[in-house]
Amino acid sequence: MSIIFSKSCEYALQAVLYLARQPEGSRKHLREIASDLNIPYHFLNKVLQTLTRGGIVVSRKGANGGFALARSPKEITLIDIVRAVDGESSLDGCVLGFPACGEQTPCPVHDQWKRAKEVILTMLQKKTLAELGKGLDGKLELIAQSLSAGKEG
């Protein structure tokens, strides 16, 4: 299982990254997203509902329906998705679980964890979806390929 993020959150991040790479104004069907990213259809359904309620994506029912980003990929960072899915405080709390850990009574790794957290937060909020998407032109396809290859084998 993943570190840091729940499965729901992983799927959400993948799906949003996927939508960010679509031409602006277009919509993608749940069916297509799930199949391309190899995510269980019904599970992704719920995740996308959460993202819709969270204002990250917009949805449209019926024929010609589907999902699209609610805002431009230039205005969304990964932390927005994490907050919408795993909640606001998923990065708070003492990493060793001491309930009273804080600046006055720090746990043995308090300062070091603080530094690690900063690196993680930077990772999540420094770049927009647009910038992240650019860096991997063609790579998502490669990932998807090796992915489905692994499924068949």
Partner DNA sequence: CGAGTATCAGACTGATTTATCCGAAGTATA
Partner DNA sequence: TATACTTCGGATAAATCAGTCTGATACTCG
From residue 67 to residue 86, the character string flagging contacts with DNA as x (rule: CB under 7 A) and all else as - is x-------------------
HSE, side-chain direction, 13 A CA sphere, residue 27: 14
User: Minimum Å distance from CB 139 to DNA?
Assistant: 23
If one asks whether residue 97 binds its own copies (CB under 8 A), the answer comes out as yes
Contacts 24+ apart (CB under 8 A), 110-117: 117/91
If one asks whether residue 42 binds DNA (CB under 7 A), the answer comes out as yes
Q: Sign of the CA dihedral 15, 1, 145, 31?
A: negative
Pairwise CA distance, residues 22 & 93, whole Å: 37
If one asks whether residue 25 binds its own copies (CB under 8 A), the answer comes out as no
From residue 113 to residue 142, the character string flagging contacts with DNA as x (rule: CB under 7 A) and all else as - is ------------------------------
User: Minimum Å distance from CB 37 to DNA?
Assistant: 12
Using CB under 8 A, pick the residue from 70, 79, 106, 130 that binds its own copies: 106
If one asks whether residue 71 binds its own copies (CB under 8 A), the answer comes out as no
Token digits of residue 99: 């309930």
User: Minimum Å distance from CB 86 to DNA?
Assistant: 8
Using CB under 8 A, pick the residue from 49, 52, 90, 130 that binds its own copies: 90
If one asks whether residue 55 binds DNA (CB under 7 A), the answer comes out as no
- Residues of this chain that bind DNA (CB under 7 A): 1, 6-8, 11, 29-31, 40-43, 45-46, 48-49, 52-53, 59-67
